[in-house]
């Protein structure tokens, strides 16, 4: 004859009968049945509330599933995601909290799961492991501690419009606030249209201390002295210091490249038919990027809440570079040549028609400067110019 194994309900029933008999204390009953006093009191409470049915096992499923989202809240999340397909859960949550602060919004992870179930996000690509060699190099770039300390600029990769011509988007951004100062559709990377765009931006937002770019045209001229271009010479005359990342290291301007990724996803696919229509899309993107889109590095605030125009106004006339009284000033010829003591030597085409200063530093040796930029040294007897570019001003304390 097999042994009869009592079920849990029978054991709990025997415990209740013994505890209510009055012959033993609750503590003694718990010791005899091998349970804690907390469990013993729980069984007694359930028996007094529901009788014998209360001694049965109960489901551990929560009354309200923690990941369940109310239909109204779910609808608003999905609607905002459809309006902004490139925004992630954290940005969506930040915007919804700002618009409807009285609503309790689910966690970003819950929003991400909701988007996944609705098919509104793709599977995440496996990221390549970053080795030490892939980290940005310390190129001594200026740290932007305040708005207008550093502006970054670049051309987002060109693409063909639907009617045939190519579009070259020129972008300018404030490094500290991430404010997108300009996004202009151009037909080429020619220097004159780019200078016109920068003049318009300077007139609206003032002048920065530094403009950081890559080494491409028109920001730099590959074969010129110090890679100076006509555009960078114009910046220097305005009191702006050009700053370039190392060739082949776009990660040194990483935040600008990241903005380009968003720009490409939201304003270039598919391309527009005309440059005018493409510019309208860029203008809409810029307004949304600056005023609505949260930025994680800004505490999920939009860039417009952190930016203020520069106090350095764009001058009505282009100032000439200033030199101390002991400097001898010479004008570079249209062919890039300089005359000194009846001799000609080559300087650079980029400084054609510009005034440069000569300072005697040794017998028959002169330092040649353009504004605060030292270009190199000239040895008169041998009629030799040795390039050696550096800024004569002390480095800004924000610079590492």
Domains defined along the chain, listed by start: 8-55 (1.10.10), 71-117 (1.10.10), 139-305 (3.30.420.10), 328-391 (no CATH)
- pLDDT tens readout for residues 341-361: 889 999 999 999 999 999 999
Point out which residues pair with 368 in neighbouring strands.
Answer: 358, 376
At residue 129 the predicted structure's pLDDT band, cuts being 50, 70 and 90, is very low
CA-based R_g, the chain, Å: 35
Per-residue pLDDT for 194 more than 60? yes
Q: Do the Cβ atoms of 201 and 338 come closer than 8 Å?
A: no
Instruction: Tell me which of 130 and 370 has the higher pLDDT.
Output: 370
Closest alpha carbon to 252 in 114, 400, 362: 400
Per-residue pLDDT for 44 more than 80? yes
- 270 preceded by cis ω (within 30°)? yes
How far CA 332 is from CA of 35, 80, 238, 346, 388, in Å, comes to 98, 58, 19, 9, 18
Q: Where are the beta strands (DSSP E) in 253-309?
A: none
pTM for the whole structure: 0.72
Point out which residues pair with 358 in neighbouring strands.
Answer: 328, 368
- pLDDT tens readout for residues 388-399: 988 876 544 444
Closest alpha carbon to 209 in 243, 178, 183, 184: 243
pLDDT of residue 6: 64
pLDDT of residue 287: 96
Here the tokens at position 392 are: 């004569």
Sign of CA dihedral 285, 290, 292, 293: positive
d(CA 368, CA 389): 10
- pLDDT tens readout for residues 67-124: 566 788 788 888 888 888 888 888 888 888 888 888 888 888 888 888 888 777 766 5
* Beta carbons within 10 angstroms of residue 239's beta carbon: 15
d(CA 34, CA 188): 84
- pLDDT tens readout for residues 17-35: 888 888 888 888 888 888 8
Per-residue pLDDT for 59 more than 60? yes
How far CA 211 is from CA of 99, 147, 153, in Å, comes to 35, 12, 7
């Amino acid at each position: 004859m097999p042994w009869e194994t009592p079920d849990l309900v029978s054991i709990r029933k025997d415990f209740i009968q013994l505890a209510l008999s009055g012959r033993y204390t609750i503590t003694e009953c718990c010791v005899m049945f091998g349970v804690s006093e907390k469990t013993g009191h729980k069984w007694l409470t359930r028996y007094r509330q529901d009788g014998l049915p209360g001694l049965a096992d109960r489901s551990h499923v929560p009354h309200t599933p923690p990941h369940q989202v109310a239909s109204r809240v779910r609808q608003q999340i999905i609607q905002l995601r459809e309006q902004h397909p490139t925004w992630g859960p954290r940005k969506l949550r930040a915007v919804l909290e700002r618009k409807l602060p009285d609503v309790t919004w689910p966690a970003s992870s819950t929003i991400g799961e909701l988007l996944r179930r609705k098919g509104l996000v793709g599977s995440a690509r496996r990221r390549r492991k970053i080795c030490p060699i892939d980290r940005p190099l310390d190129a001594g770039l200026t740290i932007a501690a305040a708005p207008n300390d550093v502006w970054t600029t670049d051309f987002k990769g060109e693409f063909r419009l639907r009617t045939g011509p190519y579009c070259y988007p020129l972008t300018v951004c404030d490094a500290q606030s991430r404010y997108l100062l300009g996004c202009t559709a151009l037909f080429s990377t020619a220097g004159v249209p780019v200078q016109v765009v920068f003049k318009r931006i300077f007139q609206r937002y003032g002048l920065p201390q530094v403009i950081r770019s890559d080494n491409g045209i028109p920001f730099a001229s590959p074969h010129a002295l110090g890679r100076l271009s006509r555009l960078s010479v114009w910046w220097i005359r305005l009191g702006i210091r050009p700053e370039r990342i190392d060739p082949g290291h776009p990660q040194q301007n990483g935040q600008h490249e990241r903005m380009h990724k968003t720009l490409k996803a939201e304003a270039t696919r598919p391309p527009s038919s005309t440059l005018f229509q493409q510019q309208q899309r860029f203008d809409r993107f810029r307004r949304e990027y600056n005023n609505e889109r949260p930025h994680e590095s800004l505490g999920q605030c939009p860039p417009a809440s952190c930016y203020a125009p520069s106090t350095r106004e764009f001058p009505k006339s282009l100032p000439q570079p200033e030199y101390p009284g002991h400097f001898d000033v010479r004008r570079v010829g249209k062919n890039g040549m300089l005359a000194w003591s009846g001799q000609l030597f080559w300087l650079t085409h980029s400084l054609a028609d510009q005034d440069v200063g000569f300072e005697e530093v040794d017998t028959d040796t002169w330092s040649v400067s353009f504004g605060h930029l030292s270009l190199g040294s000239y040895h008169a007897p041998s009629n030799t110019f040795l390039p050696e570019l550096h800024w004569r001003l002390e480095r800004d304390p924000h610079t590492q």
